[in-house]
Every structure is written in structure tokens, then in C-alpha cells.
Amino acid sequence: MKTLKKSKKYVSLALLGMMFLSIFSFVLPLLQSTTAVAEDAAAPAGPPPTGKDVYYKTDGPVSGPPAPHLTAQDYPSTKLPGVFGESRLLIWTVAQQHLFFGSFVLAVPIFCMVIELVALLVKDPVASKRYDQLAYDFIKISLTAYSVTAILGGLLIFGFITLYPGVFGYVASLFRPFMHIYALLFLAESGTLYIYYYGWHSMEEGFLKWVHATLGILLNVFGTTLMMLANSWLAFMMAPSGVDEKGQFLGNYAHLLHSALWNPINIHRIIGNMVFGGGIVAAYSAYKFLSAKTKEQKAYYDWMGYIAMFFAVGSLIPLPFAGYWLMREVYAYRQQMGITLMGGLLAWLFILQAVLIGALFFAVVYYLFNGMQRMKGAERYDRVIKYVFFGMTVAFLVWLTPHTLVMKASELKAIGGQQHPVVGNFGVMSAKNGAVNTMLMITIFAFIIYQRANKIITVKWANLGNALLFSMFGVALFNNWWLAIYGYYIPANVRVGLSVPQVAGTLTCLFAGTALNLAMLKGAKSTGPILWGTISNRSQFAMFALGVSFTWLMALMGYIRSSVRLFWHAMEIMRDNSPWAFTHPIGFASNVMSVNVVIFWIFSLFVFWLAELSAGHRDVPSMEDSPAVKVKTTGGHAIAGASE
């Protein structure tokens, strides 16, 4: 029996290793010098002509056809009435839905992977079971969403082939080898997902559980690599590299793949997906909480919502900085793209973005303070709420103040320019950096209060600890505001660098502040347990707001990123000569995004419903800790939420 178990271990490990190697072995040769491609292609005609890489400025042998010059006749149309006859709108909608579901199936496994690992590491067996159940509940939903993603992916490909054959043909001719790897990775991901899901219960004990958790990691590696390959195509269209000015491939796949914006987009999307995953789970749990029939169900879904919110917000904190990096790289690549985005045609969409991000922060803080109502002893912090909201509001007012004001001609003359002498100062990046860091620090502060809500600190160095904590926030805030003001007096390229010390202050508050707080809470007296399920219904609408805001943000920012190319398919290499090569008015674009958000949530409800069909009305895990652990933590309910 023992030998059988041991051999199972080795077989599992060997299988995992082989899967991993077989997939990635295809990638390695591509990243080496690939001049052979050109040599083969040009062998009969002597030495091939050379071209200069538009981005890397290196010379290389011409190894592919130039980008085609398309005319309006090269763009087939569906001949549908009104705006529905616009091929771009059809592609936009299908691509948006594919992206939503693609993010869903990448995001939820990240969520599951983290939760499963937590389940493995938690010492309390009851809590461990609860986390495990939570992860399982979600991978089940992911399975249905995976099929929907694949169907939408197929629709997207058909859409490209039938409506944009010229563009698709050109991009496919360049990225052909990567498209093959993409297909293989898709197969590998599907296989891993099925083993991960169907093997959940048969691999829930001992070493096999670790193998299962490793499969979860592998699933995410495949998923993330898939996403990165797809990102390389869109990054190429925004900032081409690896080709000459005619769009001819120069034989270097590494250059083709690694365009100027590839990595910033990769990082931004990975973090964005994590936030999105948390947001979807939060909305799902809110829906389940509001429709729960029993106390036990309410308690379980309340807890699920808290975990999802925690995960989403934890991922949200680095997201603005990844966004800044991406925008900086866009600006550095082409000033016209940067200006179109941040100061020109698309600038007002960033105000919509600011509103949505502000809504997220408010939703989180609102949820946390509502959550404190389910803890006895938290009343003493009620008076803090107004200061937290006041600080958030002031920061948010600065955050959403536009640089270019929308106004009447009479208002323009009264102000004496497009920038208001008082509020106009808040329209620039320096003010925005200060504002967003302030909002983040206030959110972190609210979370620290939440951690303390039902605790009375007993460590001897409590006063010193509190002084340190307040000093940390004080110094970080002072540093943030001072740099925000200083930013007005220095060149733009130096100012961009100031965001680093500002972020450093915020992250110090997050990591060092939370760690210090946890150390202070060691051995703290509990004023009462968290009464899961007793949170107000109002708070659950904040959770819905969280999920919907994330979806809207994705639609909005995706549109901004894509439409910044204006009338180019591939920037400065391949022109868009279709009848739809114009930028829609902001109102129309916003309506398309909103319709897409609604479609996605209707689809999501369908996916949730499907998951319920198979589950029936099963019992939810208990929210009670096991007796042994209870005794251990009496008087030391150390990590509110994290241990719950």
C-alpha cells in the first residue's frame, strides 16, 4: 500500500513536469536568433534585402510580406441596419465579451489557487475545509465560464476572418508560430482545468492534495502565458516592433514579441484580472447573501464576500501604479498617443475612470465600516467614519477634477482660459498622484481600524506601537503631499519619477502598518466574535458596486487603450481604411461599453445559475471554528478576517 502511494507521488510529479516542459519547449527555439527563416525564404534569390526595425532600430533580413494597403472594398460588411452594420461594432462587442470571460477564467483560478493554498496552510481543520469548499465552489463556475470563453473566442476568430480578413491575415502571418503555441497552451489549460476540477475530491488527502494545489499553480501559469501571447498581438498593433516601416518581418521573433508596451500591458492585465476575480466573487456572494434562506447560508456568504473583497482590494492597491507605468510607456513611445489619451480626444474618458475608481474606494470603505457593525465593541470606532469619509472626499474631488473643463463660452471667458485658477491646478498629474495615494492610505487606515474593531490591545508597548503607526501614516501622508506640491515646480519627466517615493510611502503603510498592527493584536482581548451573517443588506449593494465597477472599468480602459491608435490597425504601419475608421463620440462609446457590461452580467448570472443546477440545495460549511482552535485563540482572536 505504502509503495503504491509512493509510486503515485512520483507518477504525479513526473506527469506535471512533462506537461510543463512539453509546452514550454516550443517557445525556447523561437526566442533564439531566427535568421534561418529569412535564409530559407530567400535562398534562391541570393542575399535577402535588409530592413531597419521601426522600434529597436536594428537591421535584419526582410522575412515577410509588407503590410497590405487596404481599401474600403477590402472590408466586408454584414449589411445589417443602422449601427449594427458597422463591422467594428460587432468585433468590438464580441472581443469585449471574450475579454470579460477570458479574464473571468483567468481570474477565478488565481482566486481558487490562493484560497486552496490558504486552506492547506490554515491549522484549524474546520476552517481549512471551509476554504477548500470556497475554492471548489468557484472552480465549478469557472468551468462553465471556460466553455463560454471558448465559444466567444471562436466567434471572434470567425469575425476577424469574415469582417477583417486583411488585418487578420497580416497579423497571423507574423505571429503564426505563436498562434500554434497559443493553441497548444489552450489544450494544456483545458486538460489541467478538467483534472483540477474533476480530481478535486479524489486528490483531497495528503500528498495528492499538494499535487492538486500544484496543478492549480500550473493552471494559472498556462492561463497567464496564454494571456501574454494574446497581449503581444495587441501590443504589436499599438507599438509595432520586429518589422520595418513597410511592416515586413525582419526575422527576429523576440523583437516581434517584445514590443514597447508588451510588458506594461502584461503586468497591468495580470493585476487587473486578480481584481476582477475578486469583484466577480464579491458580487456572487452578495447575490447569494441577499437570497439566502437560512442563518448558516447568510453567515457563509457573508464570509465569502469578505474574503473576495479582501482579495480584490489587496490586488487593487498596486493597480494604479501599473497603470501609470503603462501610460508612461505609451507617452514615451509616441507623444501623440500620450496626448490623445491624457490631454486630447480620449482625456475625458479618464474622468469617467476616476469616477469609477473613486466609487470602488468608497464602496470598500463603506463595506468595512458596515462590516464592523457585526462585531461587538466596534461602536467605539463609529466616530472615526466621518473623518475617513471627509478625507476620502477631499482626495476624490482632486482626483476627478478634469484638466480640460467642459463649459459654456461665457464660463470660459469668466474663468479666463480652459483651466480654472483654483480647481484647474488639480487637473494635472502631480495632484492626481497625491490624491490617489491619499485615497489608498485612507483605505489602508480603515482596514487597520477594521482589524482592531473587536479587539482590545494588551501588549505592553501599545502606546509606542500606536505612536509608531500614526507617525508612519503621518510621515507617508506628508511625504505624499509635499511631493505632489513639489511636482508642480519640476519637469514632467522628473515628476513621473516622484510617484516612486509616493508609492513607497503608501506601500510602507500597507505592509509595515498592517504587520505592526498584527503584532500589536497578538494576545489581544476579544470583545466578541465576528457574527457572520449579521452584516446589513446595504453593505451587499456595495459589493455589487465593486463587481460592476470593475467590469465597467475594464470596458472603458480597454476601449481607451485600443482606440488610441485612431485610424491605424498597426500604428504607423498599416492604416485602417474601412468606412469605420473614425473615433466615436464619447457618449456613443460609453453606451456600447455599458451595453457590454449588461450583457456580461446577464451571461454571468446564467453561469451562476448553471453552477447552482448541479449543486442543488446542499449545505454550506459551518462558520464555527473547531473547539480545539477556539480554546487556543481565546483572548487572542489574532487576525480578524485573515484567520476567519
Binding site residues, another protein, CB under 8 A: 331-332, 334-337, 339-340, 343-345, 347-348, 358, 362, 366, 369-370, 373, 382, 385-386, 389, 392-393, 396-397, 400-425, 427-428, 430, 488, 490-493, 536, 538, 566, 572, 583, 586
Tell which phi-psi region holds residue 352, choosing left (phi > 0), alpha (psi between -120 and 50) or beta: alpha
Separation of alpha carbons 90 and 94, rounded Å = 6
Q: How far is CA 435 from CA 296, 321, 398, 506, 556, in A?
A: 41, 13, 6, 12, 21
Nearer to another protein, 185 or 357 (CB): 357
Nearer to another protein, 16 or 428 (CB): 428
The answer to whether 454 and 521 have CB atoms below 8 angstroms apart is no
Angle between helices 586-615 and 347-371 (to 10 degrees): 40
Within 10 Å of residue 227's Cβ, how many Cβ atoms? Answer: 20
Residue of 561, 638, 144 whose CA lies nearest to 326:
561
Identity of the residue, 344 or 636, whose beta carbon is nearer to another protein in the bound complex = 344
Closest CA relative to residue 566, chosen from 238, 333, 244, 256:
238
84 vs 582, beta carbon nearer another protein:
582
φ, ψ of residue 74 to 5 degrees: the values are -80, 0
Closest approach, Cβ 495 to another protein, in A, equals 9
CB 573 within 8 A of CB 240: yes
Smallest distance from another protein to CB 434, Å: 14
The residue among 149, 497, 558 whose CA lies nearest residue 324 is 497
Q: How far is the CB of 581 from another protein (least distance, A)?
A: 12
Which residues have C-beta within 8 Å of that of residue 193, sequence separation ≥ 6? 109, 139, 142, 143, 146, 219
The burial class, CB within 10 Å (0-12 / 13-18 / 19+), for 390 is exposed
Q: How far is the CB of 488 from another protein (least distance, A)?
A: 5
Taking the complex as a whole, the smallest distance from the CB of residue 328 to another protein amounts, in Å, to 9
522 vs 538, which CB is nearer to another protein? 538
CB of 416 to another protein, least distance (A): 7
Nearer to another protein, 195 or 574 (CB): 574
CB of 306 to another protein, least distance (A): 17
Least gap, CB of 505 to another protein (angstroms)? 23
Closer Cβ to another protein, 316 or 337, answer by number: 337
Nearest residue (CB) to another protein, 197 versus 481:
481
Q: How far apart are the first and last CA of the chain?
A: 37
Cβ nearer to another protein, comparing 96 with 401:
401
Burial zone of 396 (CB within 10 Å; 0-12 exposed, 13-18 middle, 19+ buried) = buried
- Taking the C-alpha atoms of residue 392 and residue 410, their distance in angstroms, rounded to an integer, is 32
What is the closest distance, in whole angstroms, from the C-beta atom of residue 25 to another protein in the complex? Answer: 38
